Structure 1
Amino acid sequence: MSPIQNDNADVPVNLQQEWAFIGSGTPMRDAVRNFDWSATELGPINAWPPALKAVVGIIMNSAHPMFLWWGPKLIQIYNDAYVPSFGIGKHPAALGQGGAECWQEIWPIIWPQISHVMTGGAANWYEDNLVPIWRNSRMEDVYWTYTYTPVYGDDDQIVGTLVVCTETTSRILAERRQRTLSSLTERLTFCKTREEIFETVHAVAAENTADILAVAVNHEDAANLNKDTHFSIHALQLHFHHDCSLTFELSQRLPFDAAYSKFLHEFAAVVCRALTHMESLLARDFAAAERDRLLFDAPVGTAIMMGDDLVFQLANPIYCKIIGRPEIMVVGRSFDEVFPELFDSEVRTKFKHVFREGIPFVSEETKVRISLYGGEPEDRYYIYNLAPIRRVDGQVHGLMAIAIDITSQVLARTEIERLNDNLNVTSRAKDEFLAMLGHELRNPLAPIVTALELMKMRNPGPKVSKEQAVIQRQVDHLVRLVDDLMDVSRITSGKVQLRIVASNLRDVMNKALEMASHLLEKKNHHLTLDVAPITWVGDPARLAQVVANLLTNAAKYTPDGGEISLVTYHEDDKVKIRVSDNGMGISPSLMPNIFDLFVQGGRSVDRSDGGLGIGLALVSNLVQLHHGSVHAESPGEGLGSSFTISLPHKLALVEAEVQEKPVHVPASTSARILVVDDNRDAADSLLELLSAMGHEVRAVYDPIQALNEVQRYMPEFAILDIGLPGMDGYELAKAIRELPGGDVMRLIALTGYGQQHDKERSHSAGFNAHMIKPVDFGYLERLIAGDI
């Protein structure tokens, strides 16, 4: 297969535009453009399905290493950030290659993970996972943190696996080597002879055979090491005056790079320092009195105990304070006399064990139930070190204990954990309450909106009654409040998702103006527009919501007849959108928190156009999701304000076809429809509206009636409320699917819950569509007409 398709210069302009989602100007973007994809099962780029284009666009425009397997043969596409992980050997041949062919050496490891995702499993997450690969002409131990995520095609079937990964080899090796050096340093601290030092060197090296296959000291056993893979360091090279050298046998599964060499030099340096330390101890006569003086003045709790009964010879003031005993009650007494409450404790057992075995001990966080100054026993927390004290002949005749009281830190940590748990519980309860509240508010709205639609159908034409117009405006306002309420729930739980398409920025601004026009007109504001024609890639609905929120805020907080402007322009590498007004302004005290949830400035007595104080929080969150920022400015109260949105210019300049809105086409034929809702007002009003639209409709009010009516009536569509008594809408949908003819019936879920997991649950239960109360009748018409 030839990897080259055409030079970009030879590609027709229309194809260049269709390939804009790939980008250009980097090695991998150009490689993907130039690759002969027609020789693979993916076919030429211009024939790729939208789902493939979308995920490839994300990959190629990401600065994070990303990788895609697509189709039955798992054809590979990856970005520039991923290339360094290949090393030398696989790239560039890996582009367009099948996964099994490219990754033969690790296929038994990764294929089960890929298969799990491709066959409908959930996304996988692996952290610091060892996956050795062939690179740089050898098998190398490579560590990865990665996730496998299913990619859905245009038919909602899984057609690929997206890999987002980070190679963590350098960090894992650094941590492993640091642990080895720390262990070596710690264990050599207690070595008193050269023999002990060299035994410890062998022991520590044996615990890290991934880096050190073997080590020879002073050329002992050096002949047994692999001459092609050994590395020697002499003490003199490290500026230590010892007749000592270490020869290491290197791992053949790791590159011998600067980090590897540095580790071995540091290993040798630790050994040389231990030799220096040991020789200095042997060279001087450490006076016991000087030792005691130093220990007595130590900045940590320190004590010396001698003999089998561990009689205290020294206890410095800090030690006496943390054990809650005066010095006179400690020195000259045995451990059991000082701590009678610890007679059966693990702490006493550890002291005795260290004295008996002569093995140093460093504790972790330890809870000790102890009496302080003669009071009742209480739980205290310590970390302590025990070191045997030896005579010249090497026999243990005492212990040195170093102790630190960490009770206050432990209690503080415990309190923080408790508060955090409480906060999480409260946060979950708040999210559940907001979701429930939104649902309960949507239920009564549904029949009201339906009734309004009926009124419009019965009184067509431009003339609308004053009362009807009032109801319509207030219902629209209430719907917006409920939508904002649900949006803030999604924000706090991190569930806001963008639908990225290419749009004309003027169209987006027009939509925002349409959303805010009622309040602008109501308050007789003068609006100045200067909107540049920019093709922009992002979520047009969400950006329109952002700008509409800013325009609505400007209209609310500007006195009637005010000046409001909307401007879009380029500045440096950014696209800017600015909304300004000459209204109430923002006080300096409010400015730092202006984008926080439920924060509002002063408002007039008239609250008819009020909100919940979440509009600017939505603005900030949605702009950040687009990798942009929003900035507020105001000279002060009464002097107006300005909000400037900054979006990446890179996205704005992508040449892409602007998506047009779908045309609303009412159903042309009558359909048999069954409405199931225990709210009779909602069911009856929806029945009446659908009937007025020319459909044959029946309504029932409980699930048992629904099952009977389905068998008698055999509707083409069934609109099911989810919150039914006795049997909820999910269970009812499953039951209908099991009835004769139920497998071809189109089921529509009707609920006040509209988050992603609610839609997924509806789909799993067998619903063809998920509608949120109050009903969007245009969407419902398209569903019935088969346009969706």
Structure 2
Amino acid sequence: MRLTFDFLSNGGELGALMRARDWSTTPLGPPEHWPTLLKSTIRLILSSSHPMFLWWGKDLIQFYNDAYRLTMGPERHPSALGGRGRECWDEIWPIIGPQIALVMSGGGSTWNEDQLVPVTRHGKREDVWWTYGYSPIEDHEGVHGVLVVCNDVTARHNANAALERMNLALTEQITQREHAQRHEAIQTTQRLRAEQALREQREAETMRLRSLFEQAHGFMCILRGPQHVFEFANSAYLRLVGERTLIGKTVREALPDVVGQGFFELLDGVYASGKPYKAGDLRIELQQAPGGAPTQAYIDFVYQPIVENGAVGGIFVQGFDVTDRSMARQALQHSELRLKEGMKAARMAVWDWDLHSNDVVFSDNAPELFGASWTNMRHVWHCIDPDDLKRVELARREALQSNGSYSEVVRLRRPDNGQLVWLQVYATVVPDEAGHAACIRGVSIDVSARKRAEESLREAARHKDEFLAMLSHELRNPLAPIRSAAHLLAMAPDDTARVKMSSVIIERQVNHMTSLINDLLDVSRVNTGLVVLDKQVIDVHQVVLESVEQTQPLISERGHELVLDLPAEGEVALLGDRKRLVQVLTNLLHNAAKYTPGGGRIAVEVSHHGDTVELHVRDNGIGVEAMLMPHIFELFRQEKRSSDRSQGGLGLGLALVRSLVLLHGGHVTAASPGPGEGATFSVYLQKHALAGDGGEATRGPGSHAGEGLRLMLVDDNKDAANAMAMVLESAGHVVRVEHDPHHALDTVASFAPDACLLDIGLPGMDGNELARRLRASAHARAATLIAVTGYGNKYDKASAVRAGFDHYFVKPANTAELIGVLARIKPVRRARQEAPLAERIEG
């Protein structure tokens, strides 16, 4: 049964021969085991209509396509397919052998024009002229083969030789004519006959040359005069330009689509200077059909001035369409680029280790991943954790015994900055022809992020377990005094003093348990989005007084000094939920009271600057350790306690504070010089303007009375978009969330936003391009554009301004500042019914 392989599909006669051949008897082995680079190169050769030839590997195994077969005689085709290069081309090896060796050694490409390389075909030795190039087929491991792109230019060479002979003949004839003119008086008849013969000879030579030009593989044309009028163009030239009518037209008339590409200017320069111009692999755009879309081609060409009587009279154009060759090279370059980008994105490096010399070669991205690119494996071992190194060596010894593979995760210390990197190592033993282990080929992937995530999960699980244990302890603690009080009631139900004492104990412990349960329920409701704020204009002064009232018993019990620094009543207002803001400040005061030793000092300070209100709760208590500070607002996190757990609580208060403040569009911070140095917790909220006389809430400068904005929020990060949308909705705005920029453009007409908040790093179309398109849209031209992005340098900001953005925020955006900017935006006037405020419109 005949096997088929995707990369050997099609290809005409040579494709069929390759599929039919038993490759297992060759050094290459079965095709399914061939390297990917060899497969992709053979597919390129078979799919090309240009003569192409490949020597592969150290034996220079040969492949070629149908177009190249036409240049070979029966002496070599089909025996050359799969054969060794030197054996096949022994007669011309002194010519081509050094060129092949140069390319295989990494010396780069070669190019030969009009090169005599005689070959034997059809039973005789022929002088054949070639224009050909040798290109390396290589990857990060080195050069594996030589790709030949060639043209048999014998016909063109012979035509040029004939043209030289014709010029010599013409010169001789002109000399004869001048001699005849001196004897015109006595040789009139001979002169006329000579002139007629000369004309006939020139016409015959011209016709013969044109016939040769017409048969040439490359394109040719003759241009006359300073306007470059087409006098002749062969079939190859007509195919290149789309079979147009050219003769008698200037180049600018016949080829208007080439204007502006520089070719006509080069012709003008050659005509003026009389110096030829030569170029290779130059891109040209042509319309193959009138009014059609331009197509790209790549050409090698020569502009050769035609000199007559000492002056340039025209230009001879000759060249080749090398599009297939150029596209093949570009495809290889793009493939290499994609491979490098993929390895970079995957944080993966590949390497080869020679077991005999201990030399190792890493891919180019090794310094980025490992901090170095070693050349000897012993240097690598010094950077690997000793315990991991022992484990890897054991796995490697087992793999060497069977020429197998091994996989391990190791820790590597970067030599450049000392950072610890976790690597997933996959390695395979590669044997030599005798079956002995020669080298190890491997891949190392940076899995540090995964390891850190696993550690974070373990840490989170540990904190959860600690919290559950603490919750169990806190819920059991009140049960003991409640049970004791119940026993006292049962033992002496008529003892009034005991009954009263028992009632006080039960009530106090029940209140404690209720407080714990309420904290749990509040956290649950906030985290699941069930808390709905009842927003009203409230006086900050009153919020502080209510919070102090609730915490005064605990503060007094512990003998703390409480200092208040507040604005006057009615001076500073917020738009928020009074109950929840009192809860925020109460939790912060409870926290300060619990973690400040008896007789300490607690201060509450309220200030306002511009559009922001600041609430600071300061204490001189036990402070916060530096390691806890980044996690202090997280669930299940709590400062260390003494063994008697005298402070109580579940560590939920600060997490609840952060969540409630975020719902109000603000943010909260914590600061502490260190253990024993006290702590400061600060809340930042958006200020609400007050009327100067009646105390009723009014809107600030540039506000739009009683009307929220229609906001379009475009961000491909769904969590970030939804969180921001909740903040904006809580400020009274209508928000439409879009995750795809193209869909945002489709829906902008129906939504008609007052302002658009755009991420810059969007998929498919970045935020700057989206801003430009919105500016060009009739439905968003007047909207305010706000960039909310992770890009923060001055060049990114300048690009955003040029794209049309009015404001620029770097993530994480200062919520108070953002809401302040929105408060100064006026709605775009529109004649339509507005959607109700606080509506979420999902795109």
Which TM-score applies when normalising by structure 2?
0.29
Larger relative contact order (C-alpha < 8 A, sep ≥ 6)? 1
Which TM-score applies when normalising by structure 1?
0.31
